[in-house]
Amino acid sequence: MAARKKIPVALTIAGSDSGGGAGIQADLKTFAALGVHGASAIACLTAQNPKRVLGIEVCSPKMLRQQIEAVFEELNTRAVKTGMLFSAENISVVAKFFGARTARPRVPLIVDPVLISTSGAKLLEPKAIKILQEKLLPLATLITPNLSEAEILIGEKNSSVDEMRKAARKIHSRFGCAVLVKGGHLKNSKEATDVFFDGKTELLLSAPFVKGIRTHGTGCTYSAAICAALALGNDLPRAVEIGKQFVTAAISQSCKIGKHFALGNL
């Protein structure tokens, strides 16, 4: 009998998007598209569509931890990403699990600090921001804030690529992890430029804007693609490049779903 093909496992810890465009659903589709088996731990449920978030119901801390434990108990997880965690209690659960490094092999941890949805809905409790900064971000291999999230993390606006570069250095200095500041919402820019900095290497990753498309779930897809690339054995700078290429292709190949767009290539 021929040997069965083995594929690596990546875990997403995030919220469920009932519209299927972001969150757990986007992460799992991205993992599959890149040839990685996706496992999941659902931190919260959202009643959501591409236009708005109607409601959020958080998972209990006990159940969230059990989901993560179940995955690590039997699956050789190669990389992990977090998305919408919503509550201070659930952020603490994730931080405690991955902070106990002696209990399990150290795996790359990508933290997408989901604070606000594209439609403007708050996706993290106000009291949870401090816990995120103090307990989870220092454990991250990479954090992937957009412009608004980077502003919250350092208390300064980012209105140019140069300011994004400075923000990346400040975030790295403050939390001790690599950072990818995403500039997709940078005004008066002809390209979507992101800044990666890990203390030694800086990358400026640019791609032309795709006109006429309003996307949903790009941040989730981007961080999931980086996570998948790490699970496949790439180093971090290369994984970030793969993530940028993947999300750019997904945006350019977007499809119509009703009155909205869904990312393609997934």
30, 141, 193, 218: the active-site residue:
218
| Cα–Cα distance measured from residue 228 to residue 33, given in angstroms and rounded to the nearest whole number | 9
Tokens 């959202």, residue?
A: 46
Q: Does the annotation mark 218 as catalytic?
A: yes
**Active-site annotation holds for 220:** yes
Q: Which of 44, 59, 177, 220 is catalytic?
A: 220
DSSP per-residue codes, 11-71: EEEEEEETTSSSHHHHHHHHHHHTT-EEEEEEEEEEEE-SS-EEEEEEPPHHHHHHHHHHH
Which of these is catalytic: 20, 219, 227, 243?
219
For the chain, how far is it from start to end, CA to CA, in angstroms? 32
CB 110 within 8 A of CB 178: no
262 membership: H or E segment, kind and range: strand 260-262
Q: Is 217 a catalytic residue?
A: yes
Out of 118, 215, 221, 248, which one is annotated catalytic? 215
**What are 39's two structure tokens?**
């496992």
In the set 19, 23, 184, 217, the catalytic residue is 217
Does the annotation count 155 as an active-site position?
no
Q: Which of 182, 183, 227, 248 is an active site residue?
A: 182
Longest pairwise C-alpha distance within the chain: 60
- As annotated, the active-site residues are 182, 215, 217-220
